[in-house]
A = this chain, B = another copy of it.
Amino acid sequence: MTGTGEPSRAAEPRRVPPRPLPVAVDTMGGDHAPEEIVAGAVDAVRKHDVRLVLVGKAARIRRELDKYGYVGKIPIVHADEALDMGEGALASWRKPRSSIAIACHLIRQGRASALVSAGSTAGVVATSRLRLKGQQGVMRPAIAVTLPTRPRPTILLDAGATADVKPETLVQFAALGTAYAQILLGPDRPTVGLLNIGAEPGKGNKLAKRAHELLASGSHGIEFAGNVEGHDLLRGRVDVIVADGFTGNVALKTMEGTIGAAFTEIRDAMTSSPAARMGALLQRRRLQELRDRLDPDTYGGGVLLGLNGTVVIAHGASRARAITSACELAHRLAAGRIVERIREQVAATRTSRFGRRTHAERESADRPEEKRPSEGPPPPREPAADTVPDRKEPPATP
């Protein structure tokens, strides 16, 4: 941790907190790569003091950095290839030297804490699943997005990483969302709602009904607040909304599309007569603020949770400002030790899930291995990561 030319205070008796690892930024993904990506990265360093490493074509990055006088001030790791925006999951196999793959590699080597990319969601998800691997104990990853509710945002997950899930996966998503909300929003016990088609417990499809039962059993450290419906998405009733990736994605895009359509219609209505146009002039600033707040480019982007490292997926259309926010978010999640928090949350969920299922579990649950020593989060250490939980779960069949 020292030896990087920092003023080290090693002689002092008290322990110096380790300097945070840098966030790896994929400079080659996104509609406006690399110009806007590098511009956003420079701002993240300059204004927010986030440590970064830029991944992509070195010469090109240097040329961009030169515009801001930042050559040599942000480290660069060269990558030859990029995933095209149209490329999906397969590209992650075909291009092992893509900028995203290299960024994942940095995380695995312990040289970066997280990764930011504005590449195609499918490509980023597939590559990072392949390279970072699922975090121990987590069945499937989920994309968490932040909805622009007030007074504080609501987290929706899964927004599209995992389309087919089991009820138990939804319980895990609740754990992932809880960990994320603790870091992002602050509350110790964020409330979790299940996206469903009715408020009462018996509502929904088979998946939602069973997930409701599991969540309502209340023995896994999740503050379950019951079902929420589509019209609750923007009401801020809960901190976290859990859904399968299919439903979550449809809901998110429906919300974004409706906001867009509403603004278009309102603009039309506002400029439909001279009087109305005059009115619109008087309101321009306020409406622009509102428009900004509801713009996916502001609140947008998602975080892929459940892997051995944090992956922040910015919108493909991201401009510098969105990239700066994404870098900040990645830094904040890494500093909040999101991977470790998720592991703790998920371990609690697993316990109770199996506990609910068969009596046989109870005996084996007494064994001492509950407490895994200090198996570390993403990059540096990662010793006996997959030892523990497998032991406490004699199969669920009677």
Interface residues of A (CB under 8 A from B): 88, 122, 160, 163-164, 195, 197-198, 200, 204-206, 208, 229-235, 243-247, 249-263, 265-266, 269-270, 272-273, 275-276, 278-283, 286-287, 289-290, 294
9 further contact pairs, Cβ within 8 A, besides A197-B246, A230-B257, A279-B280: A197-B245, A231-B256, A258-B258, A259-B262, A266-B287, A269-B290, A276-B286, A278-B279, A279-B283
Task: State how many copies of this chain the complex holds.
Answer: 2
Chain B residues whose C-beta falls within 8 Å of the C-beta of A258 in the assembled complex: 233-234, 254-255, 258-259, 262
Interface of A is mostly: helix
Q: Looking at the complex, which one of B247, B270, B278 makes contact with A286 (CB distance below 8 Å)? A: B270
Chain B residues whose C-beta falls within 8 Å of the C-beta of A282 in the assembled complex: 275-276, 278-279
Inter-subunit contact A206/B250 (CB<8 Å):
no
Chain B residues whose C-beta falls within 8 Å of the C-beta of A235 in the assembled complex: 257, 261
Inter-subunit contact A197/B163 (CB<8 Å):
yes
- Interchain nearest-CB distance for A154 vs B (Å): 12
Inter-subunit contact A164/B206 (CB<8 Å):
yes
- Interchain nearest-CB distance for A226 vs B (Å): 16
Among A200, A258, A275, residue most surrounded by chain B Cβ atoms (within 10 Å): A258
- Interchain nearest-CB distance for A260 vs B (Å): 7
Docked complex Cα distance between A250 and B254 (Å): 9
